Homo-oligomer: A and B are copies of this chain.
């Protein structure tokens, strides 16, 4: 394994998604902020689960979804994240490794259960996430295998890692290892409320060049620069002088590079069934494009295609082989 090369190594919270449909008034009754990810403790998890309708259980976690997508495109991916050795933890490991992703982080032998996110999907396809971090809180620097990090062209880290206390150190250590070996470091800002919680630290990562590539959606970018105006946020991002990919829901996505801005529209979908994972799978396509030497525009297209696939069904892991899908659409 030590000699394996990876296109991307992802480091993130390893979370099982528990997904059910819900009406808008359910969100109101349970004081849920539509479209956001909220952290919940165990009693709250029990309350929400008891109120939740019949659910589908599908492995998730933002960076893990991205690396699963990259593998589905044919990229070589690895993952670092923490699950407990319980039934859901074993399901989680199965789903990632059977997708072709290397995932060697040791199981947590004790402590809280494998993390789960209770996701409510409203009739418009929007998802509202409530995450019990559980075993993710056991991810530490000890889980960051130096050789694995240094064998990756890009390491991809989620902003959500700032939530479990020990994980940000793992993030920093991974970034350090990667740069020492000439690799690049990417971060996704994860969620506008997550940016609210850690704005200064995220800006510090960018300005101190601990990260080289930034993924964000429109809301996260506005939150990062504390502006309600997208163009102002975009200008601020350009001034950072790094590579960035910004998703704008139905308005498509754009890439910011030192050479300028490239925009691409979305791929049409018949109906948005469940938007869970849209950003994660966009990142998968974009990263696959970058690491396979494609142009920025083509990388954006691959991202848009993967996002379109994921919002067409329930769950945030691809239902089809993305390499075949991309080939069928003339992108590979």
Contacts and interface: CB of A to CB of B under 8 A. Distances in A.
Contacts of A139: none
Nearest to A318: B54
Nearest to A319: B21
Interface string A49-60: 110111111110
Interface stretch (A85-93, A258-266, A293-301): A85-93
B52 A91 contact: no
Contacts of A98: 52-55
A68 B54 contact: yes
B317 A54 contact: yes
A49 B314 contact: no
Contacts of A21: 319-320
Interface string A287-308: 0000000000000000000000
B55 A95 contact: yes
A314 B313 contact: yes
A316 to B, nearest CB: 11
A94 interface: yes
Interface string A107-127: 000000100000000000000
Interface residues of A, number: 29
Contacts of A113: 87
A54 B49 contact: no
Contacts of A88: 87
Interface string A305-332: 0000000011101011000000000000
A56 B53 contact: no
A18 B87 CA distance: 13
Contacts of A91: 18, 55, 57
B57 A99 contact: no
Given A86-B87, A87-B87, A94-B49, A99 B54 contact: yes
A317 B52 CA distance: 15
B56 A56 contact: yes
Given A87-B87, A88-B87, A314-B313, A94 B57 contact: no
Contacts of A68: 54
Contacts of A52: 94, 98
A21 B98 CA distance: 12
Contacts of A95: 54-55
Contact of A55 (B50, B94, B320): B94
8 contacts: A54-B68, A54-B95, A55-B91, A56-B56, A56-B314, A86-B87, A87-B88, A313-B314
Interface of A: 18, 21, 49-50, 52-59, 68, 86-88, 91, 94-96, 98-99, 113, 313-315, 317, 319-320
Given A52-B98, A87-B113, 20 more contacts: A21-B320, A49-B94, A52-B94, A53-B98, A54-B59, A54-B68, A54-B98, A54-B99, A54-B317, A55-B91, A55-B95, A55-B98, A56-B56, A56-B57, A57-B58, A57-B91, A86-B87, A87-B87, A313-B314, A314-B319
